Amino acid sequence: MKVLVTGSNGLLGQKLLYKLKEDKSIDLIATSLGKNRVTNTKGYSYIKLDITNKKKLTEVIGSNNPDVVINTAAMTNVDICEDKKQDCESLNVTAVSYLADACLENDVHLIHISTDFIFDGEDGPYKEDDKPNPLSYYGLSKLKSEEILYKHDVRWTILRTIIVFGVAENLSKSNIVLWAKAALEKGEQLNIIDDQYRAPTLAEDLADACILAAKKKAYGIYNTSGKDIMSIYEMVERIGKHYGLDITNLNKISTSKLNQKAKRPPRTGFILDKANSILDYNPHSFEESLSIITRQLN
From the list 27-35, 101-109, 236-244, 280-288, the region that binds ligand NAP by CB under 6 A is 27-35
The residues near 229 (Cβ < 8 Å, ≥ 6 apart) are 124, 125, 197, 198, 199, 269
b/e burial code for range 187-204 (CB count within 10 A of at least 16 → b): eeebebbbbbbbbbbbbb
Does 82 engage in binding with ligand NAP (CB under 6 A)?
no
Does 97 engage in binding with ligand NAP (CB under 6 A)?
no
Chosen residue from 3, 61, 110, 164 binding ligand NAP by CB under 6 A:
164
x/- site string to ligand NAP, residues 230 to 269, per CB under 6 A?
Answer: ----------------------------------------
Count of C-beta atoms within a 10 Å radius of residue 73: 27
Which of 142, 124, 145 is CA-nearest to residue 134? Answer: 142
User: Minimum CB separation from ligand NAP for residue 276, in Å?
Assistant: 19
Q: Of 74 and 262, which CB lies nearer to ligand NAP in the complex structure? A: 74
Chosen residue from 36, 136, 157, 161 binding ligand NAP by CB under 6 A:
161
Count of C-beta atoms within a 10 Å radius of residue 3: 25
Does 33 engage in binding with ligand NAP (CB under 6 A)?
yes
Q: Of 6 and 231, which CB lies nearer to ligand NAP in the complex structure? A: 6
Distances (CA, A) of 102 to 16, 25, 67, 148: 21, 24, 12, 13
Chosen residue from 1, 23, 46, 50 binding ligand NAP by CB under 6 A:
50
From the list 67-75, 124-132, 177-185, 239-247, the region that binds ligand NAP by CB under 6 A is 67-75
Does 148 engage in binding with ligand NAP (CB under 6 A)?
no
With CB atoms as reference, the residue minimizing the distance to ligand NAP is: 10
From the list 1-9, 122-130, 228-236, 268-276, the region that binds ligand NAP by CB under 6 A is 1-9
In single-letter form, the type of residue at position 282 comes to: N
Q: Of 47 and 249, which CB lies nearer to ligand NAP in the complex structure? A: 47
- Given the DSSP bridges, would you call strands 190-193 and 27-32 parallel, antiparallel or unpaired? unpaired
User: Minimum CB separation from ligand NAP for residue 145, in Å?
Assistant: 9
In single-letter form, the type of residue at position 232 comes to: I
Q: Of 34 and 187, which CB lies nearer to ligand NAP in the complex structure? A: 34
Does 177 engage in binding with ligand NAP (CB under 6 A)?
no
Helix boundaries (H) for 54-187: 54-64, 78-83, 85-89, 95-105, 137-151, 176-185
The length of the chain is 298
Which of 190, 192, 210, 188 is CA-nearest to residue 201? Answer: 210
User: Minimum CB separation from ligand NAP for residue 115, in Å?
Assistant: 4
**Residue by residue, what is the 3-state secondary structure of 11-59?**
HHHHHHHHHHHCCCCCEEEEEECCCCCCCCCCCCEEEECCCCCHHHHHH
Total site size for ligand NAP, rule CB under 6 A: 28
Chosen residue from 4, 12, 26, 100 binding ligand NAP by CB under 6 A:
12
Residue numbers at the binding site for ligand NAP (CB under 6 A): 6-7, 9-13, 32-34, 49-52, 72-74, 76, 91, 113, 115, 161-164, 171-173
